[in-house]
Chain A
Amino acid sequence: MVAQNIAFGVIAAAMVVAAFRVVTTKNVVRAALYLVVVLAGVGAQFILLASEFVAVVQVLVYIGAIVVLFLFGIMLTRAPIGKTVNLDNDLRRSGLLVSLMLVGGLVYVLWDAFEDTELPEDGTLFRTSEVGDSIFSTYLVPFEIISVLLLAALIGAIVVARRD
């Protein structure tokens, strides 16, 4: 237990710092790299929550594909390598306000709702087969729709971004 808490704490701290750096850094590429940290941290949290399949998928898809996409995007849009002077717009303050209020509100509500609810010590350890079973039985239709969505996104991305 203690180990899990410590692990959680460390990983959470790293995530928060990295997330913070994502939104504040002046270097676009470093923002992408900080995002990697965050995403990895999320995967780690999934492991802590006994969801190994989701964690693996997270790492594969997010870090493996999406971040690469991001980097390609950065490259193709000629983002300057190195510091840029102005990467924040003038909505910083109102954004800060909104997010702070949001976090305040959310934390308050969450604490008010769940207080000291403990997660189960020996919780159900879901196996991948159970996840698969659930997908293909209960949630079949959403699965199929997601597939079509992916197809549409694929075609769409090609269509949108082609040169003609």
Chain B
Amino acid sequence: MLENVWVIPAIPFATFWGILFFGKRLPHKGAELGIGALSLCFALSLVTGAAWIDRVDNPPVSDHTTEQATEHATGGSEIDGTEHAQVAGGDSGTGIGVLGAAAIEEAEEHIAVDAVVQQWTWWQNGGIEFTVGTMVDGLTAMMLLVVTVVSLLVHIYSTDYVGGDRRYTHFFAFLSLFSASMLMLVMAENTLQMIVGWELVGLCSFVLIGHWWEEKPNSDAALKAFLTNRVGDIGMLIGVITLFFAANQTWSIVEINSMANAGQISHTALLVASLCLTAAVMSKSGQFFLHTWLPDAMAGPTPVSALIHAATMVVAGVFMVARLYGVFWDGFSIGTSNINVLAVVGGFTTIVGGVLAFVQADIKKVLAYSTISQLGYMVMALGVGAWTAGLFHLFTHAFFKACLFLGSGSVSHAVHSFDMVKDMGGMRKWMPHTFRTFMIGSIALAGIPPLAGFWSKDEILAGASQLGGGGDGYPVVLVMGFITAGLTAAYMTRCVYLTFFGEYRGHTPVEKLHESGPRITLPLWILAGLAIVAGLANLPGDSIVPDGWALRFEHFVEPTGAYFPAISHPHFSGLTALVSIAVAGLGVAIGYAFYFRQLGPHGLTQRSTVAKAGYTFLENRYYLDHLYTGVIAGGTKGPIARAAYWTNQNIIDGIVNGVGISARRIGLWVYDKIDQGIVDGTVNGLGLGAGAGGEVLRETQTGRVQQYASVLFGSTLVLALVIALVIV
């Protein structure tokens, strides 16, 4: 399966075309094709995951692994030479003593399991080979599972949510295309293929956000998403090309990473590439300041928000960093610094997103800002060097955020609105399943143990405090992380309160309020269940839990090949855990007091100008949209465009016209003076001269004979004199 993993994206890709061409004729309008395809993909992802787990536990024999294993084994105990192969094989327990077992473990840890790479060359030019292929390692397997699970559940959810829609078939077609693109992205073997997948998911996002494009705000939001992503894509292109040239003209991810780790690429090149790729991450994964498209993307249908803008597409940026981690590790000196661009961007984003989530009335926007905040956590984790923590958070976040989004969709189905303040309240009475799953999702998001969010968030915070230069951690980033943990808990409490508690403020009559059907609630419960248990995948090591249970996620997902840098891992810190729980609890408590008990300074923003100003600043989303649209775009459209137009018309056209005019004048002058004057003048002059000469000579022809006679005699005289005197 690992060699044939290309089948997985191929299936939804074929389904896309199938739904597009045949969907309308099918009984379920193409939905069955989508669900069938995704189910198949899910099954294949499970198979892939199993195959990978097997590969990690029983790695294939290679010279390099046996050497290392032999060293450690012989260093550990006297072991029969013939059993070295079995030692390399992992858990073989045949006839080896305790020391041998320790050696086995050491040997296991030192085994480098390479990714399974398949490639086909599709173009060659000038010594450069362009390949397409797959690369499967733990990260790929994990992402495959996440994408297929969430996509499948969203497909099922959509059959109810989007049922009867004007473009139902089209919706499913593009859900399939998106799934295919995302799956291709996660198994891309080279950077070019990754760009293709990147762009395709961006395209699908555009199409799906603008699903109801008849309303202008929706198409505007789609364009904003696409164009903002474009800005980051420039960074992606520059970064990829820089890496191509810096890494001796190769596109292969494995090779680039290996060369970066081996120090064969100059630090400057890696820094430049990392910075450019960070721009791409900022736009795709909604980091500050290119995050402005994410809240607007909520204009799309809720399943789309859940799938694309919570669980999968937005994490493509995080995935890319994780994939090219060798580049970033070296470029930003993650292992030895105490602050770097990636970490700061991530940390700042968490706070920015968290603060903005407080002032939203729309439930989806709260979740969108929450997503921005959590993506900030993931990027922050990668920035401090806690690779596994970041990806583990990606893993857990996908489940509980999708659960929250789908839950909000379920609520909106009942009240036909997303506005919490105006149209919701006390919904728990009528929507028990939605309420419970939403609560589970919120608790997971807030980071309350033992739900999933706690484990992943705690690991990030541990990494921020322990990793980095000199083991001093990244203090600034750590503080940001703690603050946001509190904010997260608080705004989710607010959201839950406004939606499910209090008085019902909506317009839909109470009799019409009812729980959503099974096709909605079943995915909700599945996701809620995953939100509960997913945390168990990476329980911390250090003897808190039995060894066989600890750090399973890290064990299988974190790459060990030469293409992954030698990172250090944070160990579980009870202090960090307690502080994060305390902060989260504090957030919940404050939220509870403010909303549930109506304590605290309500109406502050009306009374205090400072508070009001702050509120307005937040309401206008830090005026970033004004900056982008008004200042940057408007400035370019207005003065700069006008200046360019002026330059074009007056200077460039002026020059061109001027050249033309002067050429014409020169031509006319030449015609006038030279052609008419000199040339014709000469010719005419010759004629006139001949004529004038003739006129003059004509005077001699008087017609008078006597004159002729006189001339005759005169010339005869002259001739005679000449002959007489000169010649003779």
A141 is an interface residue with CB less than 8 A from chain B: no
Residue of B nearest to A104 (CB): B717
Interface magnitude class on chain A: 10 to 19
> Contacting chain A: which of B428-436, B625-633, B707-715?
B707-715
Contacts of A69 in B (CB 8 A): none
Contact B707 A98 (CB under 8 A): no
A105 B710 Cβ-Cβ under 8 A: no
Give B contacts to A, CB under 8 Å.
704, 706-707, 710, 713-714, 717, 720-721, 724
Against B, the Cβ 8 Å flags (1 = close, 0 = not) of A87-118 are 00101001100110110010001000000000
B386 to chain A, nearest CB (A): 130
- The answer to whether B714 and A98 touch across the interface, beta carbons within 8 angstroms, is yes
Query: Does B706 lie within 8 Å of A98, measured CB to CB?
Result: no
Which residue of B has the minimal Cβ distance to A99?
B713
Q: Judge whether A89 and B720 touch: CB under 8 Å.
A: no
Please, which residues of chain B bring their CB within 8 A of the CB of A102? 713, 717
Taken together as a complex, chains A and B put the C-alpha atoms of A58 and B318 apart, in Å, by 148
Q: Are the C-beta atoms of B720 and A109 separated by less than 8 Å?
A: yes
Q: Which A residues lie within 8 Å of B721 (CB)?
A: 105, 109
B713 engages A98 (CB within 8 Å)? yes
How far does the alpha carbon of A89 sit from the alpha carbon of B714 in the complex, in Å?
Answer: 18
12 more A-B contacts (CB under 8 A) besides A91-B710, A105-B717, A109-B720?
Answer: A91-B704, A91-B707, A94-B710, A95-B710, A98-B713, A98-B717, A99-B713, A101-B714, A102-B717, A105-B720, A105-B721, A109-B721
In angstroms, Cα B704 to Cα A105, docked, is 26
Q: Is the CB of A91 within 8 A of B706?
A: yes
Chain A nearest CB, measured from B67 CB (Å) = 134
**Whole-angstrom CA separation of A88 from B640 in the bound complex:** 100
A-B contact count (CB 8 A): 24
The interface residues of chain A lying within 8 Å CB-to-CB of B706 are 89, 91, 95
CA distance A89 to B710 in the complex (A): 13
Report B-chain residues with C-beta under 8 Å of the C-beta of A95. Answer: 706, 710
Say how far A71's CB is from chain B's closest CB, in angstroms. Answer: 23
Q: Do A101 and B717 touch across chains, with their CB atoms under 8 A apart?
A: yes
Once the chains are docked, how many angstroms separate the CA of A98 from the CA of B721?
A: 13
CA distance in complex: A109, B721 (Å) = 8
- Closest residue of chain B to A96, judged by CB? B710
Complex CA distance for A164 and B520, rounded to whole angstroms = 145
Please give, as numbers and ranges, the residues of chain B lying within 8 Å of A94 by CB-CB distance: 710
- Which of A98, A99, A101, A109 is within 8 Å of B724, CB to CB? A109
How far apart sit A99 and B714, CA to CA, in the bound complex (Å)?
8
> Can you show 24 pairs from A to B with CB atoms below 8 A apart?
A89-B704, A89-B706, A91-B704, A91-B706, A91-B707, A91-B710, A94-B710, A95-B706, A95-B710, A98-B710, A98-B713, A98-B714, A98-B717, A99-B713, A101-B714, A101-B717, A102-B713, A102-B717, A105-B717, A105-B720, A105-B721, A109-B720, A109-B721, A109-B724
Residues of chain B contacted by A98 (CB below 8 angstroms): 710, 713-714, 717
Assembled-state Cα–Cα distance A91/B714 (Å):
13
Residues of A within 8 A of B704 (CB): 89, 91
Least distance between A128 CB and chain B CB atoms (Å) = 35
Per the bound structure, the CA–CA distance linking A109 and B720 in Å amounts to 10
CA distance A95 to B717 in the complex (A): 13
Closest to B721 in A: A105
In A123-164, the 8 Å CB interface with B consists of: none
Q: Could you say which residues of chain A place their CB within 8 Å of the CB of B707?
A: 91
- Interchain CA distance A94-B721 in the complex, whole Å: 19
Closest residue of chain A to B715 (Cβ to Cβ) is A98
Residues in chain A near residue B720, CB distance under 8 A = 105, 109
Closest Cβ of chain B to A72, distance in Å, is 23
**Docked CA distance A98–B710 (Å):** 7
Bound CA–CA A70/B724 (angstroms): 37
Interface-central residue, A91, A98, A102, by most chain B CB under 10 Å: A98
Distance in angstroms between the alpha carbons of A105 and B723 in the assembled complex = 12
CB distance from A93 to the nearest CB of B (A): 10
CA distance A105 to B721 in the complex (A): 7
| Nearest chain B residue, comparing its CB with the CB of A103 | B717
Kindly state the separation between the CA atoms of A135 and B316 in the bound complex, as whole angstroms.
144
A120 to B713, CA, bound (A): 33
Give the shortest distance, in Å, between B517 (CB) and chain A (any CB): 139
Chain B residues with Cβ below 8 Å from A109 are 720-721, 724
Nearest B residue (CB) for A97? B714
Q: How far is the CA of A98 from the CA of B712 in the complex (A)?
A: 10
Determine the chain B residues whose CB is within 8 A of the CB of A105 once the complex forms: 717, 720-721
